Structure 1
Amino acid sequence: MPARRIKAHVDTLLVANQVKGEYEAKVAKMIQYLKKTKELLQNFDKAEFIHISRSLNKKVDSLSKLASVAFDHLVKNVKVETIKHPSILEEMVAGVEAPEPCWMTPILRYLKEGIVPEDREEARRLRILAL
């Protein structure tokens, strides 16, 4: 749908204020979700987030409670979708560099090139470490 404006009614004051920029996201997972939200909001000309307290929004409150219980006993006409993967799939990877040579250098040399020390005992220890 070519919607250009969005108005979201949310029951979490924290989320509403983080999206508005009034609160800062500090937890890593929340930072990722906020980043993804802001990325998606770039597709809209206008986006508005309105906090609705749970006491004023009985249907949403019921749904949130429903999501936290086991589904085996539910009536068949209640449809429940379980989301298996978060909407943020970005992996954070930090590069690690060690000055050459380090304790890993002989192991890497053995694994990559098959080079072992001339001393038989050293070579045996290296093969065991490389496992």
Structure 2
Amino acid sequence: MEVSYEGQTIGMSLNFLYEKTIHIHLSGTMREFDYLSPAFILRYALAVWGKENGVELIHEGGGRTNAADDSLYLFKKQFGKNTSFNFCVARQIWNKSVYQQLCEAMGTPIDSDYFPAYRSALSLEFN
């Protein structure tokens, strides 16, 4: 899914479809366009597409952590207030040398509690 405004992409999501279930895998928006609510537009467009194509469930996934008060989880929970599913957050590093390079480039310690560590500085900037 893609949300555009005045010819510029301001939000996108990568979703997986399996039988009658959509899983929202990755999504992101440009902060300077938050006033247009691109995250909500993405979900609305996905719901419309799903309904037109026989989808029965859209699975949002969990948050950045397993905590019940995780801000990403709470955002996603708005779309399924009456449902709850188990989820887990994986922390797998497939290419340690590239991961280390990314951490060094961002100036973050590789053993940060935030995962992936190289995004911890960005998280502080946007929160």
- When normalised by structure 2's length, the TM-score is 0.25
**Larger RCO: 1 or 2 (CA < 8 Å, sep 6+):** 1
- Higher-strand-fraction structure: 2
- When normalised by structure 1's length, the TM-score is 0.24
Bigger CA radius of gyration: 1
